[in-house]
Amino acid sequence: MSNPTLFYFPVRGRAELIRLILAEAGLEYAEHPIGKDTPPLHGRPTDFAALKASGLLAFEAVPLWEEADGFRLAQSLAIANHLARQHGLMGKTQREHAQVEQALGGYEDARMELRKVATAAPAQRSELREEFVTVVAPRWLGYFEKLLRANRDATGFLVGDALSSADLALWYFVETLEDNGMGAAMAKAPLVAAHFARIGKRPQIAAYVSSPRRHAFMTMPK
């Protein structure tokens, strides 16, 4: 296997921040799509149960990242950080690096809140969704508004004077809200909205997002 390979389901999910980093970095990579009862690819299982049994997954979970020399890494954020560091998307100083990790921690927390809605029992989902759109998401977007304002008066990025993986993570979070019809949560987040528009216009990101390589959006259950 000559290109590094991303093992994940053929959906955006937890692998999408990794893919956005790869797109921005312009790194060639292959996807190893996981399924159920699917045949092996390049001698590796694609069937999830068989992949778990193969011992390739440190925590019996994907995504998994594998490099040409056999180096393997699990945990989506560890993979994202590894690639972001390699490609200059993790801040320019140790302090910026820490600030990028801080923003990524916020992104993970905000995603967790969204996940609570997605995995709620059907009877509770609509109430939770309403609360998410009117209270929870605006609160998290408000935190990101403050981070943006505190960094060069929101004229560029979340951290420092260059794009980092934190910007891509925020972009993906906002895209997920918009795609799921939760755009109303953005009403009091004009700086995040402007940041979303800016990041989405970056040539590598725009090209990736409109490419056939991008996995289709899957709506959250309502």
Ligand X SMILES: N[C@@H](CCC(=O)N[C@@H](CS)C(=O)NCC(=O)O)C(=O)O
> Would you tell me which residues interact with ligand X (CB under 6 A)?
13-14, 61-63, 75-77
Q: CB 178 → ligand X: shortest distance, Å?
A: 21
- Of 108 and 179, nearer to ligand X (C-beta) is 108
Can you tell me the distance from the alpha carbon of 73 to that of 65, in angstroms, rounded to the nearest whole number? 5
Cβ(173)–Cβ(200) below 8 Å: no
Q: CB 218 → ligand X: shortest distance, Å?
A: 12
Q: How many CB atoms lie within 10 A of CB 94?
A: 8
Q: CB 14 → ligand X: shortest distance, Å?
A: 5
Q: Residue 167: name the closest of 181, 149, 148 by CA.
A: 148
- Of 61 and 197, nearer to ligand X (C-beta) is 61
Q: CB 187 → ligand X: shortest distance, Å?
A: 30
Peptide bond preceding 63 in cis form (omega within 30 of 0):
yes
Can you tell me the distance from the alpha carbon of 74 to that of 156, in angstroms, rounded to the nearest whole number? 31
- Of 56 and 193, nearer to ligand X (C-beta) is 56
| Strands 64-66 and 72-74, sheet pairing | antiparallel
- Of 12 and 97, nearer to ligand X (C-beta) is 12
